[in-house]
Amino acid sequence: MPEVSRFFGIVITMFYKDHSPPHFHAKYAESRALISIEGLTVIRGNLMPRALALVIEWASMHKNELLENWELARRQAPLNPIEPLT
C-alpha cells in the first residue's frame, strides 16, 4: 500500500486497484479510517477527532492530487507524493 503523505504522525496511503468510491486510507496510532475523496467523509473506521480534523484539512487542500493518485493507483502506476500538512 503506497504511502502518499505523512504529517503529525498520520500516514496517508492508497491501495492499487482499490474499490470505488475514490478514497484514501489514514492511519494514526492504532486508529484507521477510509476517507472519501469527493465528500471528505469517513467511509469506514475512525480516527481521533483532532487527527480526523487534520486529515480533512489536508485532503481539502489536495483533493485534485488525491484524485490524480486514485487514477494512477487504478492503473497500478507509481503514485505521486503529496505535500504534508505543516
pTM of the model: 0.95
Mark out the alpha helices in the chain (DSSP H runs): 49-61, 63-74
What pLDDT, on the 0 to 100 scale, is given for residue 36? 97
pLDDT tens digits in sequence order for the chain, 86 residues long: 799 999 999 999 999 988 899 999 999 999 999 999 999 999 999 999 999 999 999 999 999 999 999 999 999 999 999 999 99
Greatest alpha-carbon span in the chain: 33
In the chain, the amino acid numbered 77 is A
Contact by Cβ (8 Å): 7, 54: yes
Domain ranges of the chain: 3-74
> Measured between alpha carbons, how far is 81 from 6 in angstroms, rounded to an integer?
10
